[in-house]
Structure 1
Amino acid sequence: MRAAFFPIFFALVFGISGAAPPDRDASPPLYYSIERDGTLYARPDRTAPLPDFRPLALQEPLFMLDAQDGWLHVRTMDDVTGFVPEEAVSNVWLRISKKQQTLFVYRGADLAMRISVDLGLNAIMDKVRRGGTLEPDHWRTPEGNFHIVAKNPNSKFYKALVLNYPSAEDAERGIRSGLITEEEYDAIMEADETLEMPPMGTLLGGFIEIHGNGTGGSVNWTQGCIAVTDWWIDRLWEIVHVGTPVLVE
């Protein structure tokens, strides 16, 4: 389920990363579960769970067939249909263009917001390893497919949405280059599979966040994070959940 999420999700919305644009008549709108162990119901009634069906996984893709009175009629990837409360799912995802220094907020295929961002001190290069005061060139914003793994309401940068960097792709790169140990590799891979916080203290770096205290003027000063103004982080806080997909390119 996890391995299929990003290819399916990004292929069906706007044809990101070279995929063909979706046929809106043939492809129902795509949502994803924002609950761990969510429930699929037989009808729009919380007392009527679908018999003999497994719990819905966090970030599980769901095709929306219809909406009525606070409920969505959905189909899973394995062609099981049922109902979920609308607050149990989302179609919000984020795309960050380093070239445009802009965070784009989408609802499905529809662009909802565009926000100016501050990036890492080296805003051009992809992140390879942990930076520091002696290696400020490595304070870079990583590129790739990520998701929000935690929300920190008490960040020193006001509020923070934590990305799951390093991801499985970063772990593969890290083990090939000798930056991480086998144990660190295994821990990152397990965290990626279970949508938990990955180890943040390896030589790959960590704690890459979308956080507040941004200038709003596309100034590159962070240690790899994406900074927006406090006003914007408040808006994002309301609609972004643990599991929200984030594409950085």
Structure 2
Amino acid sequence: MRISSIFTILLALALALPVVVRSEPGPASLYADRLVVIKSQKRLFLYREGTLLKTYKVALGKKMGPKTRQGDCRTPEGSYRIDGRRRDSRFYKALHISYPNADDERNAHSTGCLPGGNIEIHGLPKGYEDLAAIHTRHNWTSGCIAVSNQEIDELWQLVPDGTPIEIRP
């Protein structure tokens, strides 16, 4: 094979390389480093280094006020972390929140109750995907934070495990 032919092949390969799509996540600068939920606004805010990246409208627990015990259908208030993710939830996908924290445990036990757990940011229940446009009209969860399936796909990509989440009244 002639040198000019080899050079032509190598040049063609070099020009094709930038076209290859990367399958790994984008740069860390695209990830959220803090989440804030303001329950009174029914909004979830994603931040990176103090800059607002995205806002989501959410549905919350059926009952108002801070979560105080297992089964009260309230969304907790306080500081937590995203501590895991589930593809096998009864919802489309879910990001698990580290509720209960030490304060939640202490407060619940002081009243003789269990604090509960399994609080998540999740998509819609299987079979209810068509309600994405209207699911936030009413608070319907048992204490979780619900978004559409398309939104939980975005959050799944933008929010790494360990990200702090603050849930405010």
Q: TM-score category by the smaller chain?
A: 0.7 to 0.9
Question: Is 1:128 aligned to residue 47 of structure 2?
Answer: no
Note if contact 2:32-2:159 (Cα within 8 Å) is conserved in structure 1. no
Question: Is 1:176 aligned to residue 117 of structure 2?
Answer: no
Note if contact 2:32-2:46 (Cα within 8 Å) is conserved in structure 1. no
SS at match of 1:217: helix
- Identify the residue that residue 212 of structure 1 maps to in structure 2: 123
Q: TM-score, normalised on structure 2?
A: 0.73
Amino acid paired to 2:52: L
Paired with 1:109 and 1:216, the residues of 2 have a C-alpha distance of 29
Q: Displacement, 1:177?
A: 2.8
Amino acid paired to 2:163: T
Note if contact 1:101-1:119 (Cα within 8 Å) is conserved in structure 2. yes
Paired with 1:119 and 1:243, the residues of 2 have a C-alpha distance of 22
Q: Identify, as 1 or 2, the structure richer in strand.
A: 1
Paired with 1:146 and 1:130, the residues of 2 have a C-alpha distance of 17
- Identify the residue that residue 104 of structure 1 maps to in structure 2: 45
The C-alpha deviation readout for 1:73-131, integer Å capped at 9, x for no partner, is xxxxxxxxxxxxx65xx652110010000001111211111100000010x21101011
- Identify the residue that residue 156 of structure 2 maps to in structure 1: 237
**Structure 2 stretches of 5 or more lacking a match?**
1-26, 125-131
Structure with higher RCO (Cα < 8 A, 6+ apart): 2
User: Cα RMSD over matched residues?
Assistant: 2.0
Moved over 3 A (4+): none
- The alignment of Structure 1 onto Structure 2 pairs a total of residues equal to 134
Q: Displacement, 1:172?
A: 2.2
Paired with 1:149 and 1:168, the residues of 2 have a C-alpha distance of 15
Instruction: Label 1:112 to 1:218 Cα distance change in 2 as closer, same or farther (>3 A).
Output: farther
Paired with 1:172 and 1:218, the residues of 2 have a C-alpha distance of 33
